[in-house]
Protein backbone atom coordinates (compact mmCIF):
# COMPACT_ATOMS: atom_id res chain seq x y z
CA UNK A 1 0.00 0.00 0.00
CA UNK A 2 1.33 3.47 -0.90
CA UNK A 3 0.76 6.64 1.11
CA UNK A 4 -0.97 8.21 -1.92
CA UNK A 5 -3.59 5.42 -1.91
CA UNK A 6 -4.73 5.89 1.70
CA UNK A 7 -7.69 8.04 2.74
CA UNK A 8 -6.50 9.97 5.80
CA UNK A 9 -9.55 12.21 6.35
CA UNK A 10 -10.25 12.51 10.10
CA UNK A 11 -7.76 9.74 10.86
CA UNK A 12 -5.03 9.87 13.49
CA UNK A 13 -1.62 9.08 12.02
CA UNK A 14 1.50 8.19 14.01
CA UNK A 15 4.31 9.62 11.87
CA UNK A 16 7.80 8.37 12.85
CA UNK A 17 10.32 11.08 12.00
CA UNK A 18 13.95 11.48 13.10
CA UNK A 19 14.55 14.82 14.80
CA UNK A 20 17.77 13.64 16.42
CA UNK A 21 19.53 16.80 15.24
CA UNK A 22 22.96 18.13 16.27
CA UNK A 23 22.57 20.83 18.93
CA UNK A 24 25.26 23.10 20.41
CA UNK A 25 24.66 25.75 23.09
CA UNK A 26 20.90 25.43 22.67
CA UNK A 27 21.01 25.92 18.89
CA UNK A 28 20.35 23.39 16.14
CA UNK A 29 23.46 23.18 13.95
CA UNK A 30 21.70 21.52 11.04
CA UNK A 31 17.95 21.08 10.68
CA UNK A 32 18.01 19.05 7.45
CA UNK A 33 16.29 16.10 9.17
CA UNK A 34 13.37 18.30 10.21
CA UNK A 35 13.21 20.06 6.84
CA UNK A 36 13.14 16.75 4.95
CA UNK A 37 10.13 15.58 7.01
CA UNK A 38 7.98 18.59 6.17
CA UNK A 39 6.68 17.26 2.87
CA UNK A 40 5.12 14.23 4.57
CA UNK A 41 3.69 16.32 7.42
CA UNK A 42 2.06 18.70 4.93
CA UNK A 43 0.87 15.81 2.76
CA UNK A 44 -0.93 14.14 5.68
CA UNK A 45 -2.24 17.36 7.14
CA UNK A 46 -3.61 18.54 3.77
CA UNK A 47 -5.45 15.25 3.47
CA UNK A 48 -7.23 15.80 6.76
CA UNK A 49 -5.18 13.66 9.14
CA UNK A 50 -4.33 14.53 12.72
CA UNK A 51 -0.60 13.94 12.69
CA UNK A 52 1.25 12.73 15.79
CA UNK A 53 5.01 13.05 15.31
CA UNK A 54 7.14 10.43 17.07
CA UNK A 55 10.89 10.90 17.36
CA UNK A 56 13.80 10.14 19.64
CA UNK A 57 16.48 12.66 20.59
CA UNK A 58 19.83 11.51 21.98
CA UNK A 59 20.16 8.48 24.21
CA UNK A 60 18.13 8.97 27.43
CA UNK A 61 17.84 5.98 29.76
CA UNK A 62 14.07 5.42 29.51
CA UNK A 63 13.25 8.38 31.76
CA UNK A 64 12.68 12.11 31.45
CA UNK A 65 15.85 14.21 31.05
CA UNK A 66 15.29 17.94 30.68
CA UNK A 67 18.28 18.41 28.36
CA UNK A 68 16.85 15.83 25.96
CA UNK A 69 13.27 17.11 25.97
CA UNK A 70 11.89 18.17 22.58
CA UNK A 71 9.75 20.85 24.14
CA UNK A 72 11.98 23.86 23.60
CA UNK A 73 14.59 23.59 20.87
CA UNK A 74 13.06 21.03 18.51
CA UNK A 75 9.45 22.18 18.93
CA UNK A 76 10.49 25.83 18.35
CA UNK A 77 12.29 24.85 15.16
CA UNK A 78 9.19 23.04 13.93
CA UNK A 79 7.07 26.11 14.69
CA UNK A 80 9.51 28.26 12.70
CA UNK A 81 9.48 25.88 9.75
CA UNK A 82 5.69 25.43 9.72
CA UNK A 83 4.41 28.92 10.60
CA UNK A 84 1.06 28.37 8.89
CA UNK A 85 0.15 25.16 10.76
CA UNK A 86 -1.46 24.48 14.14
CA UNK A 87 1.17 22.69 16.18
CA UNK A 88 0.84 21.15 19.64
CA UNK A 89 3.29 19.54 22.01
CA UNK A 90 2.40 16.70 24.35
CA UNK A 91 3.93 13.99 26.45
CA UNK A 92 2.35 10.56 26.41
CA UNK A 93 0.23 11.15 29.51
CA UNK A 94 -1.46 14.17 27.88
CA UNK A 95 -1.89 12.75 24.38
CA UNK A 96 -5.51 11.66 24.82
CA UNK A 97 -6.58 15.12 25.98
CA UNK A 98 -4.69 16.85 23.18
CA UNK A 99 -6.20 14.54 20.57
CA UNK A 100 -9.67 15.39 21.86
CA UNK A 101 -9.17 19.15 21.31
CA UNK A 102 -7.29 19.02 18.00
CA UNK A 103 -8.86 18.97 14.56
CA UNK A 104 -8.10 17.40 11.19
CA UNK A 105 -4.91 18.87 9.80
CA UNK A 106 -3.37 19.64 13.20
CA UNK A 107 0.07 18.36 14.17
CA UNK A 108 1.18 17.14 17.60
CA UNK A 109 4.84 16.60 18.48
CA UNK A 110 5.11 13.87 21.12
CA UNK A 111 7.86 14.10 23.75
CA UNK A 112 11.11 12.15 23.17
CA UNK A 113 9.97 8.58 22.62
CA UNK A 114 13.12 7.22 24.32
CA UNK A 115 11.91 8.66 27.65
CA UNK A 116 9.51 5.72 27.80
CA UNK A 117 10.23 2.14 28.83
CA UNK A 118 9.43 -0.25 26.04
CA UNK A 119 10.77 1.84 23.14
CA UNK A 120 14.32 0.51 22.95
CA UNK A 121 13.34 -2.99 24.14
CA UNK A 122 10.61 -2.99 21.47
CA UNK A 123 7.96 -4.18 23.92
CA UNK A 124 4.67 -5.20 22.31
CA UNK A 125 2.70 -3.68 25.20
CA UNK A 126 4.27 -0.28 24.45
CA UNK A 127 3.71 -0.55 20.69
CA UNK A 128 0.08 -1.61 21.05
CA UNK A 129 -0.57 1.18 23.56
CA UNK A 130 0.82 3.75 21.08
CA UNK A 131 -1.13 2.14 18.24
CA UNK A 132 -4.37 2.40 20.23
CA UNK A 133 -4.34 6.21 19.73
CA UNK A 134 -4.20 6.01 15.95
CA UNK A 135 -5.57 4.62 12.69
CA UNK A 136 -2.36 4.54 10.65
CA UNK A 137 1.40 4.47 11.06
CA UNK A 138 3.77 6.17 8.62
CA UNK A 139 7.55 5.71 8.76
CA UNK A 140 9.45 8.70 7.39
CA UNK A 141 12.59 8.16 9.47
CA UNK A 142 15.15 6.48 7.22
CA UNK A 143 17.98 7.38 9.61
CA UNK A 144 16.61 5.29 12.48
CA UNK A 145 15.13 2.45 10.41
CA UNK A 146 18.09 0.20 11.28
CA UNK A 147 16.99 0.20 14.94
CA UNK A 148 14.66 -2.57 16.14
CA UNK A 149 12.75 -0.23 18.41
CA UNK A 150 9.00 -0.07 19.14
CA UNK A 151 8.37 3.14 17.20
CA UNK A 152 10.23 1.69 14.20
CA UNK A 153 9.30 -1.99 13.96
CA UNK A 154 6.79 -2.53 16.79
CA UNK A 155 3.84 -0.26 15.94
CA UNK A 156 3.45 -1.59 12.35
CA UNK A 157 2.41 -4.93 13.89
CA UNK A 158 -0.71 -3.23 15.21
CA UNK A 159 -1.62 -0.65 12.52
CA UNK A 160 -1.81 -0.41 8.74
CA UNK A 161 1.61 1.06 7.91
CA UNK A 162 3.07 2.87 4.94
CA UNK A 163 6.29 4.59 3.89
CA UNK A 164 6.58 8.36 4.13
CA UNK A 165 7.60 10.55 1.19
CA UNK A 166 11.11 11.39 2.34
CA UNK A 167 11.89 7.77 3.22
CA UNK A 168 10.78 6.84 -0.29
CA UNK A 169 13.00 9.57 -1.77
CA UNK A 170 16.02 8.38 0.24
CA UNK A 171 15.67 4.85 -1.05
CA UNK A 172 15.26 5.84 -4.66
CA UNK A 173 18.24 8.20 -4.54
CA UNK A 174 20.51 5.63 -2.91
CA UNK A 175 19.43 2.96 -5.39
CA UNK A 176 20.46 5.28 -8.22
CA UNK A 177 24.06 5.16 -6.96
CA UNK A 178 24.19 1.40 -6.50
CA UNK A 179 25.99 0.44 -9.67
CA UNK A 180 27.96 -2.81 -9.55
CA UNK A 181 30.18 -1.71 -12.47
CA UNK A 182 31.59 1.46 -10.93
CA UNK A 183 34.38 1.04 -8.35
CA UNK A 184 33.50 2.73 -5.08
CA UNK A 185 35.23 3.79 -1.91
CA UNK A 186 33.60 3.75 1.53
CA UNK A 187 34.80 6.26 4.12
CA UNK A 188 33.68 5.33 7.61
CA UNK A 189 34.24 7.30 10.77
CA UNK A 190 32.47 8.80 13.75
CA UNK A 191 31.66 7.63 17.23
CA UNK A 192 28.94 4.99 16.71
CA UNK A 193 31.43 2.20 16.14
CA UNK A 194 29.39 -0.99 16.41
CA UNK A 195 26.42 0.07 14.31
CA UNK A 196 28.71 0.97 11.41
CA UNK A 197 31.29 -1.79 11.83
CA UNK A 198 28.66 -4.53 11.54
CA UNK A 199 28.50 -3.66 7.86
CA UNK A 200 32.21 -3.82 7.15
CA UNK A 201 32.41 -7.41 5.93
CA UNK A 202 29.51 -7.04 3.48
CA UNK A 203 30.69 -3.65 2.27
CA UNK A 204 34.21 -4.95 1.79
CA UNK A 205 32.92 -7.50 -0.74
CA UNK A 206 31.52 -4.64 -2.81
CA UNK A 207 33.89 -1.72 -2.24
CA UNK A 208 37.38 -1.17 -3.62
CA UNK A 209 38.58 0.09 -0.24
CA UNK A 210 37.10 1.07 3.12
CA UNK A 211 39.01 3.97 4.67
CA UNK A 212 38.39 4.26 8.40
CA UNK A 213 38.80 7.21 10.74
CA UNK A 214 37.28 8.32 14.06
CA UNK A 215 36.34 5.80 16.73
CA UNK A 216 36.19 3.06 14.12
CA UNK A 217 39.90 3.43 13.26
CA UNK A 218 40.76 3.59 16.98
CA UNK A 219 38.86 0.36 17.67
CA UNK A 220 40.56 -1.49 14.82
CA UNK A 221 44.01 -0.17 15.77
CA UNK A 222 43.49 -1.26 19.37
CA UNK A 223 42.41 -4.71 18.23
CA UNK A 224 45.65 -4.94 16.23
CA UNK A 225 47.64 -4.23 19.39
CA UNK A 226 48.41 -0.58 18.61
CA UNK A 227 48.40 1.66 21.68
CA UNK A 228 45.60 4.24 21.29
CA UNK A 229 46.08 5.97 24.65
CA UNK A 230 42.81 7.36 26.06
CA UNK A 231 41.05 7.46 22.69
CA UNK A 232 37.42 6.58 22.06
CA UNK A 233 36.96 2.94 21.06
CA UNK A 234 34.59 -0.01 21.35
CA UNK A 235 35.47 -3.65 21.83
CA UNK A 236 34.88 -5.24 18.46
CA UNK A 237 35.13 -8.76 17.08
CA UNK A 238 38.26 -9.71 15.13
CA UNK A 239 38.22 -8.12 11.71
CA UNK A 240 40.33 -9.64 8.98
CA UNK A 241 39.84 -7.64 5.85
CA UNK A 242 42.54 -6.46 3.49
CA UNK A 243 40.27 -3.78 2.03
CA UNK A 244 40.33 -1.75 5.24
CA UNK A 245 42.70 1.20 5.07
CA UNK A 246 43.80 2.62 8.41
CA UNK A 247 45.32 6.08 8.84
CA UNK A 248 49.11 6.04 8.83
CA UNK A 249 49.32 9.03 11.15
CA UNK A 250 46.93 10.74 13.57
CA UNK A 251 46.48 13.97 15.48
CA UNK A 252 46.65 13.47 19.24
CA UNK A 253 45.92 15.82 22.13
CA UNK A 254 45.90 16.05 25.90
CA UNK A 255 43.15 17.76 27.87
CA UNK A 256 39.88 19.14 26.51
CA UNK A 257 39.06 17.20 23.34
CA UNK A 258 37.01 20.10 21.94
CA UNK A 259 39.60 22.84 22.55
CA UNK A 260 43.16 21.56 22.95
CA UNK A 261 45.64 21.92 20.12
CA UNK A 262 46.83 18.56 18.77
CA UNK A 263 50.17 17.32 17.46
CA UNK A 264 50.70 14.79 14.67
CA UNK A 265 52.22 11.34 15.28
CA UNK A 266 52.73 8.09 13.40
CA UNK A 267 50.09 5.58 14.60
CA UNK A 268 52.91 3.44 16.07
CA UNK A 269 53.89 6.22 18.48
CA UNK A 270 50.61 7.39 20.07
CA UNK A 271 51.68 8.48 23.58
CA UNK A 272 50.14 6.87 26.67
CA UNK A 273 47.32 8.98 28.09
CA UNK A 274 46.82 11.04 24.90
CA UNK A 275 43.68 11.03 22.75
CA UNK A 276 43.47 10.49 19.01
CA UNK A 277 41.32 13.33 17.70
CA UNK A 278 41.76 13.17 13.91
CA UNK A 279 43.60 11.51 11.07
CA UNK A 280 46.99 13.03 10.24
CA UNK A 281 48.25 14.97 7.21
CA UNK A 282 49.84 11.97 5.44
CA UNK A 283 46.56 10.05 5.90
CA UNK A 284 44.60 12.91 4.34
CA UNK A 285 46.89 12.78 1.29
CA UNK A 286 46.55 9.00 1.12
CA UNK A 287 42.74 9.24 1.32
CA UNK A 288 42.72 11.79 -1.50
CA UNK A 289 44.62 9.33 -3.73
CA UNK A 290 42.03 6.64 -2.95
CA UNK A 291 39.27 9.09 -3.91
CA UNK A 292 41.10 9.81 -7.20
CA UNK A 293 40.80 6.15 -8.19
CA UNK A 294 37.06 5.54 -7.80
CA UNK A 295 33.85 6.63 -9.49
CA UNK A 296 31.71 6.74 -6.36
CA UNK A 297 32.47 7.77 -2.76
CA UNK A 298 30.13 6.79 0.07
CA UNK A 299 30.95 8.56 3.33
CA UNK A 300 29.45 8.32 6.79
CA UNK A 301 31.08 9.42 10.06
CA UNK A 302 33.50 12.27 10.68
CA UNK A 303 37.22 11.45 10.42
CA UNK A 304 37.89 13.11 13.76
CA UNK A 305 36.50 15.43 16.41
CA UNK A 306 35.50 18.09 13.91
CA UNK A 307 33.90 20.17 16.69
CA UNK A 308 37.52 21.02 17.64
CA UNK A 309 38.66 23.84 15.32
CA UNK A 310 42.12 22.25 15.02
CA UNK A 311 40.75 18.99 13.60
CA UNK A 312 40.33 19.78 9.93
CA UNK A 313 40.62 16.44 8.09
CA UNK A 314 36.85 16.11 7.67
CA UNK A 315 36.67 19.61 6.20
CA UNK A 316 39.64 19.05 3.91
CA UNK A 317 38.29 15.76 2.57
CA UNK A 318 34.79 17.22 2.17
CA UNK A 319 36.24 20.10 0.18
CA UNK A 320 38.21 17.67 -2.02
CA UNK A 321 35.19 15.45 -2.69
CA UNK A 322 33.03 18.51 -3.39
CA UNK A 323 35.57 19.79 -5.91
CA UNK A 324 35.86 16.43 -7.70
CA UNK A 325 32.07 16.03 -7.70
CA UNK A 326 31.63 19.49 -9.23
CA UNK A 327 34.19 18.60 -11.91
CA UNK A 328 32.27 15.42 -12.78
CA UNK A 329 35.13 13.15 -11.69
CA UNK A 330 33.28 11.34 -8.92
CA UNK A 331 29.78 10.84 -7.56
CA UNK A 332 29.47 11.36 -3.84
CA UNK A 333 26.92 10.40 -1.21
CA UNK A 334 27.42 11.73 2.30
CA UNK A 335 25.29 10.71 5.29
CA UNK A 336 24.86 10.98 9.06
CA UNK A 337 23.69 13.65 11.48
CA UNK A 338 27.14 14.82 12.59
CA UNK A 339 28.83 14.23 9.23
CA UNK A 340 26.28 16.45 7.49
CA UNK A 341 26.62 19.15 10.06
CA UNK A 342 30.46 19.08 9.82
CA UNK A 343 30.37 19.33 6.01
CA UNK A 344 27.46 21.76 5.68
CA UNK A 345 29.34 24.34 3.63
CA UNK A 346 29.93 21.83 0.81
CA UNK A 347 26.39 20.43 0.90
CA UNK A 348 25.27 21.67 -2.48
CA UNK A 349 28.30 20.12 -4.19
CA UNK A 350 27.72 16.49 -3.17
CA UNK A 351 25.75 14.28 -5.54
CA UNK A 352 23.39 13.24 -2.76
CA UNK A 353 23.06 13.98 0.94
CA UNK A 354 21.42 11.26 3.03
CA UNK A 355 20.03 12.19 6.45
CA UNK A 356 21.17 8.78 7.69
CA UNK A 357 24.59 7.57 8.84
CA UNK A 358 24.56 4.01 10.15
CA UNK A 359 21.20 3.32 8.49
CA UNK A 360 22.59 4.51 5.16
CA UNK A 361 25.59 2.14 5.36
CA UNK A 362 23.32 -0.69 6.52
CA UNK A 363 20.97 -0.09 3.61
CA UNK A 364 23.87 -0.13 1.11
CA UNK A 365 25.12 -3.41 2.58
CA UNK A 366 21.77 -5.19 2.99
CA UNK A 367 19.43 -3.51 0.51
CA UNK A 368 16.84 -3.19 3.23
CA UNK A 369 16.38 -2.13 6.87
CA UNK A 370 14.25 -3.62 9.67
CA UNK A 371 11.96 -0.57 9.69
CA UNK A 372 11.41 -0.77 5.93
CA UNK A 373 10.65 -4.49 5.97
CA UNK A 374 7.66 -3.83 8.23
CA UNK A 375 6.12 -1.66 5.53
CA UNK A 376 6.33 -4.08 2.60
N1 LIG B 1 38.74 10.11 17.29
C2 LIG B 1 37.56 10.49 17.82
N3 LIG B 1 37.40 10.52 19.16
C4 LIG B 1 36.23 10.89 19.72
N5 LIG B 1 35.13 11.24 19.01
C6 LIG B 1 35.26 11.24 17.67
C7 LIG B 1 36.45 10.86 17.01
N8 LIG B 1 36.24 10.97 15.68
C9 LIG B 1 34.99 11.38 15.52
N10 LIG B 1 34.37 11.56 16.71
C11 LIG B 1 33.00 12.05 16.97
O12 LIG B 1 32.07 11.29 16.25
C13 LIG B 1 30.88 12.05 16.18
C14 LIG B 1 30.11 11.65 14.96
O15 LIG B 1 29.86 10.26 15.03
P16 LIG B 1 28.58 9.52 14.47
O17 LIG B 1 27.40 9.88 15.30
O18 LIG B 1 28.93 8.08 14.37
O19 LIG B 1 28.44 10.18 13.04
P20 LIG B 1 27.11 10.47 12.20
O21 LIG B 1 26.14 11.18 13.12
O22 LIG B 1 27.56 11.34 11.09
O23 LIG B 1 26.62 9.13 11.77
C24 LIG B 1 31.30 13.51 16.19
O25 LIG B 1 30.62 14.19 17.22
C26 LIG B 1 32.82 13.45 16.49
O27 LIG B 1 33.24 14.35 17.49
O1 LIG C 1 21.54 10.07 14.41
C2 LIG C 1 21.22 8.95 14.04
O3 LIG C 1 22.05 8.11 13.39
P4 LIG C 1 23.49 8.50 12.75
O5 LIG C 1 24.37 9.01 13.87
O6 LIG C 1 23.97 7.18 12.22
O7 LIG C 1 23.30 9.52 11.68
C8 LIG C 1 19.83 8.41 14.23
O9 LIG C 1 19.00 9.38 14.82
C10 LIG C 1 19.86 7.15 15.07
O11 LIG C 1 20.23 7.48 16.39
P12 LIG C 1 20.78 6.34 17.39
O13 LIG C 1 22.14 5.91 16.87
O14 LIG C 1 20.83 7.02 18.73
O15 LIG C 1 19.80 5.19 17.34
Task: Please answer whether residues 214 and 197 qualify as being in contact, where contact means their C-beta atoms are separated by less than 8 angstroms.
Answer: no
Is residue 205 very low, low, confident or very high in pLDDT (cuts 50, 70, 90)?
A: confident
- Is any ligand 1 atom within 6 A of the Cβ of residue 277? yes
Is residue 154 very low, low, confident or very high in pLDDT (cuts 50, 70, 90)?
A: very high
Backbone angles phi and psi of 80, in degrees to 5: -65, -40
- Is any ligand 1 atom within 6 A of the Cβ of residue 20? no
CA 25 – CA 61 distance, rounded (Å)? 22
Nearest-CA neighbor of 144 among 94, 192, 86?
A: 192
Centre of ligand 2 from the C-alpha of residue 340, in Å? 12
User: Which ligand has its closest atom nearest to the C-alpha of 215?
Assistant: 1
- pLDDT number for residue 376: 63
Centre of ligand 2 from the C-alpha of residue 10, in Å? 32
Buried b (16+ CB within 10 A) or exposed e, 271-301: eeebbbbbbbeebbebbeebbeebebbbbbb
Centre of ligand 2 from the C-alpha of residue 20, in Å? 7
- Is any ligand 1 atom within 6 A of the Cβ of residue 105? no
| Residues near 40 by beta carbon (within 8 Å), at least 6 away in sequence | 3, 15, 17, 138, 140, 164, 165, 166
Q: What is this model's ipTM?
A: 0.96
- Is any ligand 1 atom within 6 A of the Cβ of residue 118? no
User: Could you give all domains of the chain from N- to C-terminal order, each with its CATH number?
Assistant: 3-165 (3.40.50.1260), 173-366 (3.40.50.1260)
Instruction: Supply the DSSP string of 57-71, one letter for each residue.
Output: -S---SS--GGG-ST
Binding residues for ATP: 196, 307, 336-339
The pLDDT tens digits for 41-59 are 999 999 999 999 999 999 9
Whether the full predicted model's pTM is greater than 0.90, yes or no, is yes
Centre of ligand 1 from the C-alpha of residue 189, in Å? 7
- Is any ligand 2 atom within 6 A of the Cβ of residue 357? yes
The pLDDT tens digits for 248-271 are 999 999 999 999 999 999 999 999
**Percent with pLDDT over 90 in the chain:** 90
Closest atom of ligand 1 relative to the 192 alpha carbon: 18
- Is any ligand 1 atom within 6 A of the Cβ of residue 357? yes
- Is any ligand 1 atom within 6 A of the Cβ of residue 156? no
The pLDDT tens digits for 269-307 are 999 999 999 999 999 999 999 999 999 999 999 999 999
- Is any ligand 2 atom within 6 A of the Cβ of residue 336? yes
Closest atom of ligand 2 relative to the 359 alpha carbon: 6
The pLDDT tens digits for 28-42 are 999 999 999 999 999
Centre of ligand 1 from the C-alpha of residue 306, in Å? 8
Task: Please answer whether residues 336 and 190 qualify as being in contact, where contact means their C-beta atoms are separated by less than 8 angstroms.
Answer: yes
Please give the biggest Cα pair distance in the chain: 65
Amino acid sequence: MKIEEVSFTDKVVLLRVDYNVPVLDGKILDSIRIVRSLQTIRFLSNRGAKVVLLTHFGKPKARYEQSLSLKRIVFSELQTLLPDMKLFFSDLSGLNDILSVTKSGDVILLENIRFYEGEIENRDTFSSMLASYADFYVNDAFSVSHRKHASVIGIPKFLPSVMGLSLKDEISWIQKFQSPDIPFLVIMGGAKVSSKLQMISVLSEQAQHIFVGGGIANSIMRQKGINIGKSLYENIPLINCDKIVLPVDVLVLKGDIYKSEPVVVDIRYIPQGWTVCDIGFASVIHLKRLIDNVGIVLWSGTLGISENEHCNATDEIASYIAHRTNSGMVKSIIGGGDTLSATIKYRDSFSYVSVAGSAFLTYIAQDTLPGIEQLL
